[in-house]
Amino acid sequence: MFGLKRSLVAVAAAVTLSSVAQAQVQFTGTTAGCFYPAGPACVAGATDVYKGLKFTAGSFNGLTSTGGQIGFGAAFASNGTFGTVKLDNTTNDYANDFFRLVISFTAPTVTSATYTAVLEGSVTSNPLGGGVRLDFDQTPQTFSYMIGSETNTFSVVVDDQSVGPNGEVALSGFITTAPEPGTIMLMGTGLFALIPVVRMRRKVNAA
């Protein structure tokens, strides 16, 4: 019985490791954005100027880690950014203002489809030292994609940012990949399928 338990523990450990050490995924794409007051919609573009703020589009290209995550922005400059926001020296009141960031992925793709994430954030005057704060909705946007015959997902989150007068900040964020729940269930099913094999080997060894 001890041999059976030990074998199952070893298999479970292998399943756990395979779910943690994921295949690395290449993510590439570009961004667009626009500022707007409450109510009217906006058309995202490569640049946008609004009340002393200027957005400049960005691009990104990088591989996820074996843990399934990749970062963009100043701390991960080699992977690119989601764009930059610059504030001039004028004094404006930002209260009911918003910003829309559109992230268009060129990789990964499924049947030539392009994934597009639209993330909204509020723009408010920063009471600490002046400047502006961009507060993004932190709800991850999730998309499905394929690696071979496996269905996987990736989620996108953009960080909140602050920029001071005459300052410029790179928009940063993270993409996290994960297997679909169905894939994890199949891995678990494979674990249980090995139980009869282990038992059979135990009987043969006992004979």
**Mean per-residue pLDDT, 29-51:** 93
N-terminal to C-terminal alpha carbon distance within the chain: 15
DSSP classification of residue 24:
P
Assigned domain for 204 exists:
no
Question: What is the pLDDT at residue 112?
Answer: 56
CB 42, CB 34: distance < 8 Å: yes
- For residue 54, which of 45, 63, 41 has the smallest C-alpha distance? 45
Spatial neighbors of 108 by CB under 8 A, at least 6 apart, are 25, 26, 27, 145, 146, 147, 154
**pLDDT cut 70: percent of the chain above it:** 74
Sign of the torsion formed by the C-alpha atoms of 59, 143, 101 and 109: positive
129 pLDDT higher than 80: no
More reliable by pLDDT, 50 or 114: 50
State how beta strands 115-125 and 132-136 pair.
Answer: antiparallel
2 pLDDT higher than 60: no
160 pLDDT higher than 90: yes
Assigned domain for 198 exists:
no
Exposure letters 179-198 (e unless 16+ CB within 10 A, then b):
beeeeeeeeeeeeeeeeeee
Sign of the torsion formed by the C-alpha atoms of 106, 110, 111 and 116: negative
Assigned domain for 108 exists:
yes
Average pLDDT of every residue of the chain? 80
Q: Does residue 148 come out as left (phi exceeding 0), alpha (psi in the -120 to 50 range) or beta?
A: left
13 pLDDT higher than 60: no
Assigned domain for 128 exists:
yes
163 pLDDT higher than 90: yes
How far out from the chain centre does Cα 172 lie? Answer: 10
State how beta strands 161-163 and 53-56 pair.
Answer: unpaired
204 pLDDT higher than 70: no
Provide the 3-class DSSP secondary structure of residue 34: strand
**Mean per-residue pLDDT, 68-83:** 97
Assigned domain for 174 exists:
yes
Assigned domain for 1 exists:
no
194 pLDDT higher than 80: no
More reliable by pLDDT, 199 or 108: 108
Element holding 61 (H helix, E strand)? strand 59-63
Domain count, the chain: 1
Distances (CA, A) of 172 to 24, 92, 102, 168, 183: 20, 24, 13, 13, 30
34 pLDDT higher than 90: yes
More reliable by pLDDT, 205 or 9: 205
More reliable by pLDDT, 183 or 65: 65
Assigned domain for 154 exists:
yes
184 pLDDT higher than 80: no
192 pLDDT higher than 50: no
Residue-range definition of the domain harbouring residue 88: 25-180
pTM: 0.77
Question: What is the pLDDT at residue 113?
Answer: 62
Question: What is the pLDDT at residue 151?
Answer: 85
Assigned domain for 7 exists:
no
The whole-angstrom separation of Cα 164 and Cα 153 is 36
4 pLDDT higher than 60: no
205 pLDDT higher than 60: no
